[in-house]
Chains A and B, each alone.
Chain A
Amino acid sequence: MSEKTAITLIINGRDYAIAVEPRRTLVDAIREDCGQTGTHIGCEHGVCGACTIIVDGEPIRSCLMFAVQANGKKIRTVEGLADGDKLHPMQQAFMDHHGLQCGFCTPGFLMLAVGALEREPDLGDDELLDLLSSNLCRCTGYQNIIKAVRAAAKDMRKG
């Protein structure tokens, strides 16, 4: 169980050569072995979505994937969302529409929405509501998250 495997995680374009136990979850590896603590852990059961990141273009729960499964895959986390000082439209929309309060679930919501909209830019309002119901937020009552994501979807479509 405790024998370690050498893997490389490619997080936000940077290689991290690490050695992990096969049982190590991807989120633990990202946070502890790679020091990228912007991705949060809310339940470790794949329910709350706080740990959502983008792996090879797809939003996934990083608590439900083993780090070894992500070997060599392209990983994007909240730390890589902005382009230097320029916020991603999704980040800007969360600020503009007060889509966050404590901020703990926010990275998960940002990556969920960005990952989904990059794949399917034309998701309608109702489809977005379905998408957003896969993550939990305890502060905002979702009203402003929904507003922010709908606004950012428009911005992203404009490019």
Chain B
Amino acid sequence: MTWVGRAIRRLEDPALITGQGRFTADLPAVHWVRFVRSPVAAGKLTNISAPKGAMVVTAADLKGVKKITPMLHKFNYKPVGQPALADGVVRFTGEPVAAVIAASEEKAEDIADQVELSIDETPSVTDARAALKAGAPRVHTEAPDNVILEGKVMTADFDSVWKRAHKIIKVEARSRRQNATPMEPRGAHASFDASSGRVTLTCTTQMPHLTRTAICDVLAFPESDLRVVAPDVGGGFGQKMSLASEYVVLVWLARKLKSSVAWTEDRRENLIAGFHSRDQYITLEGAFDKDAKLLALRADIVSNVGAYSCFPTTCGVEPLMAMAEMPGPYDVQQYACLARGVITNTCTMAPYRGVSRPVITFTLERLMDKAARAFAADPVDVRRRNLIDKFPYKSAMGLEYDDGTYKDTLEMAVKAVDVAAFRTRQKETRAKGRHLGIGFATFSERTGYGSPAFAARGMAITPGWETVIVSIDPSGFVEARIGSSPHGQGLRTTLAQIIADEIGVTPDVIKVVHGDTDRAPYGWGTFASRSLVISGGATLIAARKVRAKLIKIASHMLEAAPDDIVLADGSASVAGTDRAISIAKLAREAYTQTHRFKGEIEPGLTETGHYDPPGTFSNACHVAIVDVDVETGHVKVEKFVVAEDAGRIINPMIADGQVHGGIAQGIGNALLEEIVYDSNGGILTATLADYLPPTAREIPPIELHHIETPSPNSITRAKGLGEGGCIGAPAAVVNAINDALSPFGVEIDEIPATPQRIRAALRNAEKTS
């Protein structure tokens, strides 16, 4: 019986359920920082006046601090720099302009209220399509037409195949703006140590090492003088993987004051300035043959990237991923796409769980449902005709899909939900004025991709690989130091399961160390459904090396052939005999009895694994059943069914939890969550009473079904699954709403599908009918 595959309880939990978690905001500090933020979307900053005696830092004080300027070497990218504090120009509501430093948070807040900003307002633009129009306000001089990046692609036979189409189906999809909304807002604590001259930055980051690299780049001091710690981090979902300019200011202040300084973001700051995402327009056309087989796709992607380009991924992360992965789970070899990143006077866009894929899946799955209508076919059947079923499959964009179960998961979900029975119930309830609908979403989820995927985007920084160091100390305890930086994903538990199987100990004696640049090897952190695949792979490589060494030592000490040594239950034994030695004892010998190995075995028990995989595709089918109140526009999701394949599952309990959480975020994306700007670029959704993450009442019971297709592209055979839940859910829910509203001739192609939007569509339909 292996540890891998078992739903063991998490090793993370005992501290977190007893109030012993350690989050950034828990640390005491000598100085507290409050940021004064721009109250307007665009303008020239002419003066900052602070009350007498107050300590206030502005861009004028930060001379010599470089701008945060992430770089892409492709796609006509226009590098734009973000100053740590606005320098003469403000570009979005909420942009940090000054830092007030005081002895307590309250005092800093009091003083910040008295800081007066003189800003000559200039015209602003918050909508990406408006920003593309001639004469639109210019956000950065480097991008005169507000287009900061442009990707274009067209396959060789696109035109000729397009002409052969029997039907062209078109969808104009709109995804409104979201905020990832981790329950813990961002925060940082920077502390100067006089004896070493070093600063320790404790912050809510998903990527401690890259935070260190980036801050030392802009402040120009050696990385050896900065330690970055990600303690317990209260959710990230991508928002905490981009560099916050506030962290740069904190480290600068700690060095300047030679003391400790802290900043805890409040919810309003998080909602207006804590990075946004998903704000896109996608026009997608599909050319189908007479049998509803998709021949070609043409996409126009307009992504609102906000006021600056996020570090490290750059603002290419949404439009370029959308361009690369638009064809999704369908077999279509001809493809043309124009993808533009448009800069506007809005909060900077950063990755959020799923990145562009919730939007491209929504668009593509709307297209499939519209095709089904146009062909008077069953939506499931149209998908059946088009899903990929031969592997490895090379997409029109040249991506290689490893073994998957696109059709099987569709059939599994269809069976689980009993479509025929639903249709009968739908008919019956419709007669009584109740409008139920069913919606499907099939999708692929590219996960665990290494450095070549990032290099393909032309990123100056190409994350991808991971390093893991597994060691057994002389007391027999096992430690794995990892470059990933989990913050809720349960990686301490799953990696311990992988190690336990290799070296024959129980997971509870294995400590996984992460989130500290002094303790963990350089790595890229936790994002993009990568950690279990890549850090898991590196863990397996390192653990196998430790295993090999343990067997070598045991073979020496037990005077047996290496092939006869069995590692299990904390001991090395000789197969078929009662000769055994504990692994703790072997570890002790590895340090203290090296003379016995006659130079044949190197001292110590520390091994390193590196892993940089090509990437793997998970897949799933989501089905939503909804009940739409046509009088109020309210949507209740009644049931949600998932059939998914994420390769080999290391811990089924944790895997299910990831899927549940993703689906809840996807339902929020589909129905509730929207950052709203007014016509002047002010934000109307600055509290959690206005920006609405779903509660337990909005999330229906989620039924999960699994297929495990081991990935040939992942040495643990596991695929990633962190993002899938929120990739499929918006499409499934909105397709279900459209199915419910089909008697009214209404089509909703916008998320979130709020009651207002549903009622507006119904009113329009009444008017035109």
Contact A78 B19 (CB under 8 A): yes
Is B21's beta carbon under 8 Å from chain A? yes
Contact A132 B696 (CB under 8 A): yes
Contact A102 B234 (CB under 8 A): yes
The interface-forming segment of A64-72, A90-98, A116-124 is A90-98
Contact A44 B266 (CB under 8 A): yes
Taken residue by residue from 43 to 85, chain B's Cβ proximity to chain A (1 for < 8 Å, 0 otherwise) reads as 0000000000000000000000000000000000000000000
Considering the chains assembled together, what is the distance between the CA atoms of A139 and B514 in angstroms? 20
Contact A104 B657 (CB under 8 A): no
Closest-by-CB residue of A relative to B21 is: A103
Considering the chains assembled together, what is the distance between the CA atoms of A139 and B184 in angstroms? 11
The interface-forming segment of B89-97, B161-169, B485-493, B737-745 is B485-493
Chain A positions within 8 Å of B9 at CB level: 95-96, 98
Is B17's beta carbon under 8 Å from chain A? yes
Is A107's beta carbon under 8 Å from chain B? yes
Known: A103-B12, A133-B696. A38 touches B657 (CB 8 A): no
Closest-by-CB residue of B relative to A77 is: B19
Chain A positions within 8 Å of B702 at CB level: 141, 143
Contact B657 A102 (CB under 8 A): no
Contact A100 B19 (CB under 8 A): no
Closest-by-CB residue of B relative to A145 is: B696
Chain A positions within 8 Å of B662 at CB level: 141
The smallest beta-carbon distance between B574 and chain A, in angstroms, is: 38
Contact B267 A100 (CB under 8 A): no
Main secondary structure of the interface of B (DSSP, over half): loop
* From A47, A77, A133, contact of B689 by CB (8 A): A47
Is A153's beta carbon under 8 Å from chain B? no
Chain B positions within 8 Å of A143 at CB level: 660, 699, 701-702
Considering the chains assembled together, what is the distance between the CA atoms of A18 and B696 in angstroms? 37
Considering the chains assembled together, what is the distance between the CA atoms of A100 and B232 in angstroms? 13
Is A101's beta carbon under 8 Å from chain B? yes
* From B18, B23, B106, contact of A40 by CB (8 A): B23
Those of A36-89 within 8 Å (CB) of chain B? 36-45, 47-48, 50, 77-79, 81-82, 87
Considering the chains assembled together, what is the distance between the CA atoms of A135 and B12 in angstroms? 22
The smallest beta-carbon distance between B228 and chain A, in angstroms, is: 19
Chain A positions within 8 Å of B488 at CB level: 101-103, 139
Contact A139 B19 (CB under 8 A): no
Chain B positions within 8 Å of A40 at CB level: 23, 25, 183-184, 234
Task: Tell me the A residues contacting B by CB distance below 8 Å.
Answer: 21, 23-24, 31-32, 36-45, 47-48, 50, 77-79, 81-82, 87, 91, 94-96, 98, 100-107, 110, 129-130, 132-146
Task: Tell me the B residues contacting A by CB distance below 8 Å.
Answer: 9-10, 12-23, 25-26, 28, 106, 181-185, 232-235, 237, 264, 266-267, 487-490, 653-654, 656-657, 659-665, 687-689, 693, 695-699, 701-702, 725
- A selection of 30 A-B contacts at a CB cut-off of 8 Å is A31-B26, A32-B28, A37-B19, A40-B23, A40-B183, A42-B183, A43-B687, A47-B687, A48-B183, A87-B18, A98-B10, A100-B16, A101-B661, A102-B487, A103-B12, A104-B183, A106-B17, A133-B695, A138-B182, A138-B661, A139-B183, A140-B660, A140-B664, A141-B660, A141-B663, A141-B665, A142-B660, A142-B664, A143-B702, A144-B657
